Every structure is written in structure tokens, then in C-alpha cells.
């Protein structure tokens, strides 16, 4: 490990936006020690190998750490592994998350199970990891803490219908019960990301005098397999290439939004609450 390289830990990094962030940082002209968090090490190693094959020359390093946000034991072990290998953490990207509304719609989970899983993965697990990682972040000269949120999380957006995506997610169904099944239900996911925004604000308050720069990033509607809707279906619904999200997060890591700490930042500006 070089002291000149920033140590970056990205959760949920073996697929989707997390992998795109890894890709963008590995291509960067800046040098990083990139740590990819993955529930299954084999999946993480396969993803890292694919990045290295695509980008054969880089000044950055890539490694994998096992991380399950639903397990406190896994979280603590991951942080200890990072500490033993790198001694500090310069950037924590809390990207790991999941959607369970589709499983609820298809009766694979009960209401309580789906909502508990959503909040446990997207909020509680992220809170535990952040709490465990703070001592390592405070050893950095320029610590950064990032939470990946969603454009669906803004309360103000629930009253807007000026974009096709907002028209779809904010539309009210016809009267009667039960309601028709939705292609991409997001009730528990959307609510959890709103909770994540408040969590980010609390960390901004708590760490302000420690010099930790904190943001939530709203990467936009990306064609990932979140919620198991399917990438092609997501594209039909207007989702953008996930590489755009990866490059945007890289920009925040590299200082492009330093004047907007404590906010939810997106490609088009600061996202309203």
C-alpha cells in the first residue's frame, strides 16, 4: 500500500452501480487502493478480474473483502481486514442495497419480511458499517463518506408529475382492492432511501468538526438489476447506462462536489428533500 493512494471501500461492488464505481476509479488518472465489498467473495473476485481484463493497465490496486450488510459479524470482520491491510480508510462508499418489493408483490415475502429486509439492508446495515468504519476514516487526511440514495427518495418529488418516471411512480391506481400488480414496485425501497437521507444528515452533523466530507448521491435511474426487474426492462422504462452513475460518483470522490457537502447531489444539481 502506498500512502499516495487513497483507500476506497465500495459496498455491493460486484455488480450494478458498485461495479461501475470500481471501473471508473480503476480507469482514473488518480491512484487508488480499491476495495470491493461483496457478499460472496467468489462473485467479487470474478467482477474484479473482469475489470482488470477490460483495463489491463492501471496505477490503482483492486482487492475484495467479504461483506454482508445483514450480518454484524461480517461487517466487523470486513473493517478489521481493511485495518490490518491498509491501516486507514479515505473513502467509504455505502452503495450496497437491495429491493424486496418485487418479492412482496409475488408473495415470496410477507409485508413485514419485505419491509424489514429493505430497511435492514438499505439503512440499518449501512448504519452499522459506517459506525464501525469511522475510526479508520478519522485516520485519513481527507476522509469522505458517501451514501448512495435514490431519486425516488425525495418527499417533494412525490407531488410531481412533470417527468415520465415521476408520472409512473406517483400515479394513483383505480379504486378497489387488491390493487393491480406493478412492474416495478418500490414502496419499501423508496421509503428506506428517504430514511437513508436523514441518516446522511445525522452523520454530516456528527462528523462536521472532524473534517469528514459527507454526501448522499442520487445517481439517477440506471439500468441495473436492482429488484430483479431486468436490465432490458429497465432500459424500456427509461433507465440510463450505469457507467454514467459510476463516473458521477468518481467525480464526487475526486472533489467535484466539495462545495455541496451534507446534501443529496445528483448530475443535474442538488436534489430537494
The reply to whether 117 belongs to the active site is no
The reply to whether 76 belongs to the active site is no
Given the residues 188, 189, 213, 218, select the one marked as catalytic.
189
Given the residues 74, 118, 150, 218, select the one marked as catalytic.
150
Cβ of 80: how many Cβ atoms within 10 Å? 13
Helix, strand or coil for residue 62? strand
Given the residues 6, 193, 213, 250, select the one marked as catalytic.
193
The reply to whether 26 belongs to the active site is no
Sheet architecture: strand order including 6-10? 61-66, 32-38, 6-10, 91-94, 144-148, 213-218, 264-266, 269-270
Residues 6+ apart with CB under 8 A from 272: 154, 156, 157
What is the residue whose three cell numbers read 448504519? 127
Under 8 Å between Cβ of 132 and 185: no
Give CA–CA dist 35/33, Å, rounded.
6
Catalytic residues: 150, 189, 193
Amino acid at each position: 500500500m502506498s500512502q499516495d493512494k487513497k483507500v476506497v471501500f465500495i459496498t455491493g461492488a460486484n455488480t450494478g452501480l458498485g461495479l461501475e464505481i470500481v471501473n471508473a476509479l480503476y480507469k482514473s488518472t488518480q491512484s487508488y487502493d480499491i476495495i470491493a465489498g461483496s457478499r460472496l467473495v467468489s462473485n467479487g473476485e470474478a467482477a474484479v478480474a473482469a475489470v482488470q481484463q477490460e483495463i489491463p493497465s492501471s496505477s490503482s490496486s483492486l482487492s475484495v473483502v467479504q461483506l454482508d450488510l445483514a450480518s454484524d459479524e461480517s461487517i466487523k470482520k470486513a473493517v478489521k481486514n481493511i485495518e490490518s491491510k491498509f491501516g486507514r480508510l479515505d473513502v467509504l462508499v455505502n452503495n450496497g442495497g437491495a429491493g424486496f418489493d418485487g418479492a412482496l408483490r409475488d408473495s415470496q415475502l410477507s409485508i413485514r419480511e419485505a419491509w424489514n429486509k429493505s430497511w435492514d439492508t438499505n439503512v440499518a446495515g449501512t448504519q452499522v458499517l459506517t459506525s464501525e468504519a469511522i475510526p479508520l476514516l478519522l485516520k485519513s487526511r481527507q476522509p469522505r463518506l458517501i451514501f448512495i440514495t435514490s431519486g425516488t427518495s425525495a418527499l417533494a418529488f412525490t407531488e410531481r408529475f412533470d417527468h415520465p418516471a415521476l408520472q409512473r411512480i406517483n400515479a394513483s391506481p383505480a379504486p378497489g382492492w387488491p390493487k393491480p400488480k406493478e412492474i416495478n414496485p418500490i414502496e419499501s425501497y423508496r421509503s428506506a432511501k428517504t430514511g437513508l437521507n436523514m441518516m446522511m444528515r445525522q452523520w454530516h452533523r456528527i462528523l462536521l468538526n472532524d473534517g469528514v466530507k459527507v454526501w448522499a448521491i442520487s445517481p439517477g435511474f440506471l439500468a441495473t438489476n436492482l429488484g430483479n426487474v431486468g436490465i432490458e426492462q429497465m432500459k424500456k422504462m427509461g433507465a440510463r447506462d450505469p457507467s454514467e452513475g459510476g463516473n458521477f460518483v468518481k467525480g464526487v470522490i475526486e472533489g467535484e462536489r466539495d462545495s455541496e457537502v451534507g446534501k443529496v447531489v445528483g448530475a443535474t444539481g442538488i436534489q430537494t428533500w
